[in-house]
Amino acid sequence: MGGYHGRYLRIDLNRSTANYVALSESVLRRFLGGVGLGTWLLHHESPPGVDPLTAEGALVFCFSPLVGTPLTTSAKFAVVAKSPLTFRLNDALSSSHFALAGKRSGADALVIVGACAVPSVLVIEDGTIRIEPAGELWGLDSDETTKQLGERFGPEFHSAVIGPAGEKLVRYATISHANRHAGRGGLGAVMGSKRLKAILVAGTQRVPVADPTRVIAAARDLSQRSFGPATAKYRELGTVSNLLTFNRLHALPTRNFQQGQFEQAENLSGESLNAARRVARESCASCTIGCEHIYSSSAGNVRLEYESLFALGPLCGIGDRDIVLRAARLCDRLGLDTISVGATVAFAMECSERGLLTADGLRFGDGEALLSLLPRIAHREDPLSDLLAEGTRRAAARLGGDAADFAPHVKGLELPGYEPRTLQTMALGFAVGSRGADHNRSGAYELDFSATTDRFHGSPEAAALAVDTEDRAALIDSMILCKFLRGVFTDFFAESADLLKSVTGWNISADELQTTARRIVTAKKLYNVREGWTNSEDTLPRRFLSEELSTGVATEATLTRERLQTMIDAYYMARGWNTDGQVSQSLIDELQLADLSEANQRGDR
């Protein structure tokens, strides 16, 4: 079997021990790597009902069979844990040398349990570990921590670090590597709860592939295609170009989702940012696309994506470019998920304007207030910032009144920059997503941006297509390749089968991979069921189901509770789940998931 070590490294911080645990070929073939393997490991390593911010919770770093090959965009890793924000399964991806060095350290995954007694760094080198005190790093931001670790350990070590937000257990803190983040769902807080400031990896253990000649040929071909028109948008403008398009289509969440258009959108647009502020374009390790566009701000250069731009700009009613760029830079350094923190501040602005919250006159459009709040939230400095560090669901519950109706989250995870009333297939994707409102595990918006569906009137017919986008995401996140590459494939499942065949040697087919993708999505669901999921969670906040947008063509969009429910029912049916969204034993058997439900019943670990 090429592409794998066939084992994971289990690290117990309580005992300062590490041991390899074998991963059978059956498990690897059924779950591949990345998000898929991480889900399998979490089922086995995280006890049912665990509070993710206690020592018992597991934190999993998963590599993949493609890491270390010359295939473009393959230097990626997944981080998987129970989310402190949602108390459901959370998986987040990041890129670059941590993936390459992590896999060279000798394992297909790192599973970290227990907690250190004092702030520490975990050093993993060729399968051995050591835990070093890191009191002098505690309190430093992500950039400074990375810099000091580089000086202390040298260039062969690569680090994943947390900022102050992770230390203070902010429920949407990130894990940072090379200025990219495993961003969503508070994985940085899980790492902080283990008193781990950083994990460093290095190693020399390379894994052979089954057919090196075919892998090299496939890598050449994929790289060639990555230079073509399907990725031009990412190279030329980056994701920030979404902003003006979404604004024109009444799909740009504005002022805590009260409007779908922002009057200062031109000023913040990707087109104008690129003309006025772009200073460089960069890329993750092993990537031939290079989608990272770097912009100048008065606080230094900053990498900006659409999601940060929308959340720190229109969602908070802020149209000042420099403020938004500075805010994004601050979030990177503090280790805050830009989507969740932007949405939480926007929610607080609305609460303040409605008199539900006393916050020194906080209001939409107040950029200085945003810049002041970000470090306070990261440090939980005062009662207001401490409340906002909990995310919108918990903040709304504490504020009471009708705050929960407009707290913009699903299952506790704040919505990304897609207005669900004018993108109604995406509304379905948000409602049913296993990690909450999420645009990376469901590509349902692709259907809204097509002639296939009526985006103002979602229909059950779109459910099967939404399922297909989830399955594709599950596969690409488990192989792992970058989603920005997805447009270059003409037959995604068949071409993925060819890639995996060359790397692993398995005689694998497109049909098998389609089943694999379904298995991974349902395995995540089973984890959530174990942790208490019921179908009452698969919904949207009341605002989206009772308030209409009031301008232009958006007034034609109506998203009622009944319409959403019809789509959800069709989605469950398309997934083969029961009418209440639960998973039948026959489907568990069909998808070869019996070992997961048995592990759950036994309460493994």
Partner 1 sequence: MTFPTITIELYGMPRARAGVRELVVSAGTVGDALAEVVANCPALADVVSADGRLASQYLLSLDGKHFVSNVLQPLQSGDRLLLLSSDAGG
Point out which residues bind ligand SF4 (CB under 6 A).
Answer: 73, 95, 234, 283-284, 287, 289-292, 482, 484
Q: Under rule CB under 8 A, which residues in 288-307 are in contact with partner 1?
A: 291, 305-307
**Residue 112 binds which entry of ligand SF4, partner 1, none, CB below 5-8 Å type-dependent:** none
Which of 16, 148, 179, 245 is close enough to bind partner 1 by CB under 8 A? 245
Which of 4, 98, 257, 445 is close enough to bind partner 1 by CB under 8 A? 445
User: Please, what is the Cα angle at 116 between 112 and 122, to 5 degrees?
Assistant: 60
**Residue 229 binds which entry of partner 1, ligand SF4, none, CB below 5-8 Å type-dependent:** partner 1
Q: Which amino acid is at 494?
A: A
- Cβ closest to partner 1, residue 134 vs residue 237: 237
Number of residues that bind partner 1 (CB under 8 A): 40
Q: Cα dist. 458→95, 293, 428, 448, 473 in Å?
A: 35, 34, 8, 9, 21
Which of 375, 487, 505, 576 is close enough to bind partner 1 by CB under 8 A? 487
Using CA of residue 259, residue 261, residue 265, residue 270, what is the dihedral sign? Answer: positive
229: tokens are 């028109």
Please list the helix, strand and coil fractions of the chain in percent, rounded to the nearest 5, in that order.
Answer: 45, 15, 40
**Residue 242 binds which entry of ligand SF4, partner 1, none, CB below 5-8 Å type-dependent:** partner 1
**Residue 449 binds which entry of ligand SF4, partner 1, none, CB below 5-8 Å type-dependent:** partner 1
Instruction: Count the Cβ atoms, other than its own, within 10 Å of residue 233.
Output: 16
Nearest partner of 407 among 544, 307, 532, 558, judged by Cα? 544
State the DSSP code for 536. Answer: G
User: Which region among 3-11, 229-237, 336-344, 572-580 touches partner 1 (by CB under 8 A)?
Assistant: 229-237
* CA separation for the pair 246, 265 (Å, rounded): 10
- Cβ closest to ligand SF4, residue 70 vs residue 365: 70
193: tokens are 């709860």
Which of 51, 126, 136, 236 is close enough to bind partner 1 by CB under 8 A? 236
Which neighbouring-strand residues pair with 292? 282
Q: Under rule CB under 8 A, which residues in 306-345 are in contact with partner 1?
A: 306-307
Nearest partner of 529 among 581, 463, 604, 592, judged by Cα? 581
- Cβ closest to partner 1, residue 211 vs residue 271: 271
* Closest separation in Å from C-beta 304 to partner 1: 11
Using CA of residue 289, residue 311, residue 191, residue 474, what is the dihedral sign? Answer: negative
- Cβ closest to ligand SF4, residue 376 vs residue 483: 483
User: Which region among 89-97, 153-161, 248-256, 589-597 touches partner 1 (by CB under 8 A)?
Assistant: 248-256
Under rule CB under 8 A, residue 551 binds partner 1: no
292-297 and 128-133 strand pairing: unpaired
- Cβ closest to ligand SF4, residue 237 vs residue 289: 289
Using CA of residue 424, residue 426, residue 427, residue 432, what is the dihedral sign? Answer: positive
Which of 148, 267, 274, 592 is close enough to bind partner 1 by CB under 8 A? 274
**Residue 241 binds which entry of ligand SF4, partner 1, none, CB below 5-8 Å type-dependent:** partner 1
* Closest separation in Å from C-beta 302 to ligand SF4: 16
State the DSSP code for 415. Answer: P
3-state secondary structure of 194: coil
Nearest partner of 492 among 505, 474, 504, judged by Cα? 474
State the DSSP code for 336. Answer: B
* CA separation for the pair 581, 284 (Å, rounded): 38
* Closest separation in Å from C-beta 568 to partner 1: 22
- In the chain, DSSP finds a helix count (H) and a strand count (E) of 26, 17
Contact positions vs partner 1 (CB under 8 A) = 229-230, 232-234, 236-239, 241-242, 244-246, 248-250, 270-271, 274, 291, 305-307, 439-440, 443, 445-446, 449-451, 454, 456, 483-484, 487, 552-553, 556
